A and B are shown apart, each in its own frame.
Chain A
């Protein structure tokens, strides 16, 4: 236990220091230290208004019944909306559909993107041009991508049907959009076309930061092509892989433009993901309260997924 006079001395010191600190802080705030705040304020305030308000609004609105465009006043619902979510079969189906959508998109896109990055990292004639072309679908909108692939997979006159008939894989044109499996195939292929370049861009950046000396050393040690990939490349890009697949999974989950353009969530809700269900509930049916409750649950799902993914990634890391 400290002696009484020792305590006062400490308090004195603390008091004088805090006076000095306050004076310095004021001077800094008025002078040079105010500059960064002035510079960042417009961006930070805009983002805060555009993000914090929606979050709290959604959290609150989920507790109400609110359908302004159906002519109903706002009324307290308590946990009513959330109980409705739990009992809503469409919600549970949309969650399953979301899993298919995310896994079926991210896994092929990652593999294709990694292959693209590995090839584009090699030296060959025309590499610059090939790189520009291969990465370009990344800049194409979901709507245009949807239209392009709908047209390729047209049920009667599509070129995919024509090609498959020419090689004898099918005898009559397939109506791709009508069957659940073929609708998925069409949508996931379209998404792979647009999404693989993202992985290629990120992984290519990671590959280009690897020192060539490392490969040279591995070659001298007698490592083959596969061993160089496994023991030199992979450990050095694993960080980028973990982060880019997580981000891509979150974005894919939220991405509704493509499915909306190609199938509108059909056939019979087979491609209706949770975000599309929320969009439907808010925009088509105007049930804002229930849409807010669904949105809250959606955020929880993403949060749980991200935490689980983080744990899994840490578990899978060598050290």
Chain B
């Protein structure tokens, strides 16, 4: 069936109500990213030509090669990878236990913990700037690799624990009961029976933490001043101040910063409308 007859057979209201808006959303979402990639593949003269070419006339990886060899991109990339990766792993361990406690137990002070987590999620990061800076200064954490991991874990924990609680709560209690009747301890049941069923949720929640740490700017700017330890967002932001001749490289770096976020997002996105978003809304 040709495209034309297929379109002709569509009821008008589906065309106007679903297909047209869907195409509009796709164009609105994709064009900016397409334009970034298109521009990053142009060499100097073509990049600054007006009117601009909608398809690179002489596509080249020059900007990427120069970004990797002439700038500290490699270093920035490793720094970001360490900050986000270590945050992700630490979160994973903490939310297995924390999420399980919040999902399966009622204990005195649980409402206090809930209130604390809610307050933590609503506390503006910019308000934490001065106290965290002085606190980390006193602890000798300024300008260290550990600084960003610590602050990212602390700021992401409330959301992540509450999300993990949701994933645990969706698993039937009978599973653990059966395991405990068979002689498992509570913690044994958690690791042998409950956790395997909660792995998708655990992965989605920790990857969410990875993406957020990978993207974070504010704390990365104030806690790490040494260029050797900076992360990608900080390096990219400082490039917007530099001369326009470096724009090609900046666009190439932006593409490389984008790739991990988008790839990981594609991986976890099917959990978004179930557990992940629910954690944010239910607080």
Contact = CB atoms under 8 A, between A and B. Distances in A.
Interface of A: 32-33, 35-40, 42-44, 46-55, 57-58, 61, 115-116, 119, 122, 124, 130-144, 146-152, 156-159, 161-162, 165-166, 173, 193, 201-202, 204-205, 208, 225, 240, 243-244, 247, 250, 253-254, 256-257, 260-261, 275, 278-279, 282-283, 288, 291-292, 295, 298-299, 302, 306
Contact of A47 (B29, B110, B120): B120
Given A43-B97, A162-B51, A291-B129, A50 B211 contact: no
Nearest to A50: B154
Contacts of B269: 131-132, 135-136
Contact of B124 (A46, A50, A299): A299
A37 B107 contact: yes
Main secondary structure of the interface of A (DSSP, over half): helix
> B interface, how many residues as a size bin?
35 or more
B153 interface: yes
B26 A133 contact: yes
Interface string B250-283: 1100100110011011100100111011101100
- Between A38, A142, A244, the greatest number of chain B beta carbons within 10 A of the residue's beta carbon is seen for A142
B211 A139 contact: yes
19 contacts: A33-B107, A36-B105, A43-B95, A47-B158, A50-B154, A53-B135, A124-B14, A136-B29, A144-B257, A144-B258, A147-B236, A148-B254, A193-B29, A205-B274, A247-B280, A298-B126, A298-B127, A302-B122, A306-B122
Contacts of A135: 265, 269, 272
B127 A54 contact: yes
Contact of B278 (A144, A157, A205): A205
B101 A39 contact: yes
B196 interface: no
Nearest to B251: A151
Given A54-B128, A119-B21, A162-B52, A193 B214 contact: no
Contacts of B48: 157
B84 to A, nearest CB: 11
Contacts of B153: 46
Contacts of B216: 141
A256 B119 CA distance: 20
A148 B36 contact: yes
A171 to B, nearest CB: 14
Contacts of B60: none
Nearest to B48: A157
Interface of B: 13-14, 17-19, 21-22, 25-26, 28-30, 32-33, 35-36, 39, 48-52, 54, 94-95, 97-98, 100-102, 104-105, 107, 109-110, 113, 116-117, 119-120, 122-135, 151, 153-155, 157-158, 161, 186-187, 211, 214-218, 221-222, 233, 236-237, 240, 247, 250-251, 254, 257-258, 261-262, 264-266, 269, 272-274, 276-278, 280-281
Given A36-B107, A40-B97, A147-B236, A157 B217 contact: no
